[in-house]
Amino acid sequence: MAGSEIAAPTAPDTVKILIAGGFGVGKTTMVGSVSEIAPLRTEEALTTAGLGVDDLDGIEEKRATTVALDFGRITVSRELVLYLFGTPGQQRFWFMWNDLAVGALGAVVLIDVRRPESSFAAIDFFERRGIPFVVGVNGFHGAHPYPPDEVREALALPEHVQVMLCDARDRESCRDVLIALIDQLITKALQSNGTGRLARPAP
């Protein structure tokens, strides 16, 4: 990687967080609520997404050769920029998540309180890979019929995974969910510093 060693002095450091969950749970809405730019949309061609020909067989609609990615940006400082990526919601695009998850700080799994099952697979994905995440319960119409603990129980989430009630349309609400994720990461970093052990990636 000889070329990448000469970093331009003005280029900021970059990190990313994924916004995941089922189709229509409010991922794009959340990205738009906190991003300083209108959410951008780009396309990734499936043929170059690092999958073999066999993987394409599972895709019903073979004509759909690209998958759209929504993302937004938060400039933390002149030296640091945070990107938020909405993961493609449709089940058939989940192989994309592997690529997206590489190098992510963590994820927010959004849940539509009226149909939580649409985000079960997203939770499984991050749990299995040991990627830190928080759950944001998007209330739709401002209604939050279940308290966080009830949602946690229904989703069988471990104690350290925070469940937040939120409104994907509201900037401050979304910001608080992101802060909860960072706080979880800070707690984790402190714990591993404390024990002096190196945390191992999940198998």
Ligand X SMILES: Nc1nc2c(ncn2[C@@H]2O[C@H](COP(=O)(O)OP(=O)(O)O)[C@@H](O)[C@H]2O)c(=O)[nH]1
Closest CB 3 distance from ligand X, rounded Å: 35
Closest CB 106 distance from ligand X, rounded Å: 18
Q: Based on the shown chain and the rule CB under 8 A, indicate whether residue 130 belongs to the binding site for another protein.
A: yes
If DSSP states are collapsed to H, E and C, what string results for the chain?
CHHHHCCCCCCCEEEEEEEECCCCCCHHHHHHHHCCCCCEEEEEEHHHCCCCHHHHHCCCCCCCCEEEEEEEEEEEECCEEEEEEECCCCHHHCHHHHHHHCCEEEEEEEEECCCHHHHHHHHHHHHHHCCCEEEEEECCCCCCCCCHHHHHHHHCCCCCCCEEEECCCCHHHHHHHHHHHHHHHHHHHHHHHHHCCCCCCCC
State the residues that interact with ligand X by CB under 6 A: 21, 23-29, 86, 89, 138-141, 167-169
Stretch that binds another protein, among 4-12, 19-27, 149-157, 158-166 (CB under 8 A): 4-12
Q: Which among another protein, Mg ion, ligand X, none contacts residue 186 (Cβ within 5 to 8 A by kind)?
A: another protein
Q: Whose Cβ is closer to another protein: residue 87's or residue 116's?
A: 87
Q: Whose Cβ is closer to ligand X: residue 146's or residue 188's?
A: 146
Q: Based on the shown chain and the rule CB under 5 A, indicate whether residue 28 belongs to the binding site for Mg ion.
A: yes
Q: Based on the shown chain and the rule CB under 8 A, indicate whether residue 100 belongs to the binding site for another protein.
A: yes
Stretch that binds another protein, among 58-66, 113-121, 143-151, 158-166 (CB under 8 A): 58-66
